[in-house]
Amino acid sequence: MKYALLIYSPATAEEYAAAATAGRQAAPGRGPWTDYTQAAKDAGVLLGAEQLTHTETATSVRFAGEDRLITDGPFMETKEHLLGFYLIDVPDLDAALDWARRMPVHDGQTVEVRTAMTGMAWQRVLG
């Protein structure tokens, strides 16, 4: 089954930018996130992963009938922000939770584990 491991943090834009800069400057192949990603890849469960920019960089499109309203910022006001995700393919929820527990997150961060929908008609376009 496919699971999304969604990483949330209450970090401010400044804190997030500082952490992202440090991550870019880290030596290649070193650090807890690189180790985690390599372990998931080596185990054959990693389908994809992305780190997102902070929500302050977001643009939202709201739908109301035929109208489309484009606004700066995230759709919802929240104290936690979606920082990124891993998409994994594992046998069951227990295995997904095990991978979530291994993530090198910091205090105050949250990892939400959510089953990915499969077998949808639109997914056939992806091949």
Confidence of residue 59 (pLDDT cuts 50, 70, 90): confident
pTM above 0.75?
yes
Q: Please identify which residue in the block is written with the tokens 């192949």.
A: 29
Q: What is the number of structural domains in the chain?
A: 1
Give me the pLDDT at residue 29, please.
Answer: 67
Return the amino acid letter for 126: L
Say how far apart CA 57 and CA 72 lie, in whole Å: 8
How confident is the model over 92-115, as a mean pLDDT?
92
CA angle 119, 123, 126 (to 5 degrees): 135
Would you call 124 helix, strand, or coil by DSSP?
A: helix
At 12, list the tokens.
């401010």
Give me the pLDDT at residue 48, please.
Answer: 96
- The predicted-structure confidence for 10-24, as pLDDT tens digits, reads as follows 777 788 777 777 777
Above 80 in pLDDT, residue 90? yes
Domain extent at residue 77 = 2-126
Give me the pLDDT at residue 78, please.
Answer: 67
- The predicted-structure confidence for 63-78, as pLDDT tens digits, reads as follows 888 999 888 876 666 6
Residue 23's Cβ-side half-sphere holds a number of Cα atoms within 13 Å equal to: 11
How confident is the model over 27-34, as a mean pLDDT?
80
Q: Please state, rounded to an integer, the average pLDDT across all residues of the chain.
A: 87
DSSP string, 61-94: EEEETTEEEEEES-SS--SSEEEEEEEEE-SSHH
Q: What is the CATH number of the domain that holds 90?
A: 3.30.70.1060
Would you call 29 helix, strand, or coil by DSSP?
A: coil
Return the amino acid letter for 92: D
Give me the pLDDT at residue 74, please.
Answer: 65
Above 90 in pLDDT, residue 56? no
Q: First CA to last CA across the chain, in angstroms?
A: 17
